[in-house]
Amino acid sequence: MKRTELIRELKRVGGLFRAGATFDANRQVAALMPEMVNQFSSLSAERLAQAQVLFPELLSCMERQDYVGLADYFEFELRELFSQSGT
């Protein structure tokens, strides 16, 4: 998956969480995780450090079933992380 497609999908998944379509959103998260991991190799050291902070926070939102928080992470934080890969 190209980075632009990943960024588009992250926004879509965030929208699903925000709309309350949690089942569909969770299925998409499972499909997107390998794609996000594949993109790690293109991240700068600074971005990798940010990812090390973001992903535990993301997991915490999942455990709390904080779907608005998840929507925010997918629509903003993760998109920002991957949109600036390599910088």
Q: What is the pLDDT of residues 27-80, one digit of tens each?
A: 999 999 999 999 998 899 999 999 999 999 999 999 999 999 999 999 999 999
The residue with tokens 């949109």 is 83
Please name the residues in contact with 82: beta carbons below 8 A apart, sequence gap of 6 or more: 3, 6, 7, 10, 36, 39, 43
Cα–Cα nearest to 87, from 49, 38, 46? 46
Question: Is-contact 45 34, C-beta < 8 A?
Answer: no
How many domains in the chain?
A: 1
Model pTM?
A: 0.89
Structural domain that includes position 45: 3-83
